[in-house]
Amino acid sequence: MVIGILSAIAVPTFQNASDKARQKEPTNLIASYLRAAQAYFTEYGDLPKNTMDLGEYMSVTACTKNYPSYCQSESPIDYTNLESVSWTTPSGYFDIYMETSANKITFRALPVPVYELLGYGTSACFNSQTGVLKISEQSQRLGRNIPSVDC
């Protein structure tokens, strides 16, 4: 009985910690994308529009399907030569969306549909006019309803 009580407490706690740790992948990737966007802006005076533009400053790799078990057995592909504004992280747990406006670039990492009830998302932005850069890891499971950060 004691083991049952302990496992009822420990398993959800472990799952939550595991999901929060998994959130670090898109957070780290998005931080790299923002640095690449800043470098692109510094050189060209404009924000990157897609993965090809980001690819001038970093390698953008992705899984071809947004399904974690598929991505674990397949090698990620290089998106640097593609003009894409959305892609799946190499692990397959998050879809990345990139949006550029006149003076702002935003990235959102949404848990893939098969993982959306367990995943925490991340959103970030860089404002080229003000120089403000923000990254926000969600502290609640919002599914794919991850709001954009304003900067």
pLDDT the model gives residue 8: 52
Q: Name residue, tokens 């993965």.
A: 51
Encoded tokens for 135? 């990254």
Q: What is the mean pLDDT of the chain?
A: 88
60 pLDDT band, cuts 50/70/90, is very high
73-85 average pLDDT score: 94
Rounded to whole angstroms, the Cα distance separating 71 from 74 reads 5
pLDDT the model gives residue 21: 67
The answer on pLDDT for 117 being more than 90 is no
Span between the terminal Cα atoms of the chain, in Å? 52
Between 1 and 41, where is the model more confident? 41
30-44 average pLDDT score: 98
pLDDT the model gives residue 82: 93
pLDDT the model gives residue 20: 61
Break the chain into its structural domains and give their ranges: 2-137
Report yes or no: 128 and 140 within 8 Å, Cβ to Cβ. Answer: no
Rounded to whole angstroms, the Cα distance separating 149 from 134 reads 7
Distance of CA 80 to the CA centre of its chain: 16
The answer on pLDDT for 5 being more than 60 is no
Phi and psi dihedrals of 127, rounded to 5? -105, 115
The 10s digit of each residue's pLDDT in 118-150 is: 778 999 999 999 999 999 998 887 788 888 899
pLDDT the model gives residue 87: 97
Report yes or no: 46 and 39 within 8 Å, Cβ to Cβ. Answer: no
